[in-house]
Amino acid sequence: MNKQELVNALIARREASQVSNAEIAQRSGLTERSVRNALSLHGNPQLSSLLALVDALGLELQLAPRGFGEKTAADPGYRPVATRIGHAVAKAPAPSDPAEVKRRRQP
């Protein structure tokens, strides 16, 4: 997930939760302007702001190795580790384009 996808996920969560920027600001301890800027289409929140936003939206930030849980043609029987993130990744559709799989694995 890149930075823009993360911001888009936070925006989607805000919209789904029907929470205003003012309420997020109150929950997070950030200013309403900071929330508005961070959750804009060109948002670029600092890590401390990002963590406060994630918490205020009832989410948690988890890190996983790149490509974690992806199914590969070389090992069709692969099963991800039994964690919440592993279950979510296992349910996600696998990319059908082998070039896309290879591109995702490159650092």
Instruction: Give per-residue pLDDT as tens, 62-98.
Output: 888 877 766 666 666 666 555 665 555 556 565 555 5
Global pTM value: 0.61
The pLDDT score that the predictor gives to residue 19 is: 92
Do 52 and 70 fall into the same domain? no
CA distance 48 to 68: 25
Do 51 and 74 fall into the same domain? no
Q: Cα-Cα-Cα-Cα dihedral of 24, 25, 29, 35, to 10°?
A: 100
Do 69 and 104 fall into the same domain? yes
Do 52 and 69 fall into the same domain? no
> Total domain count for the chain?
2
Structural domain harbouring 76: 65-107
CA distance 25 to 86: 31
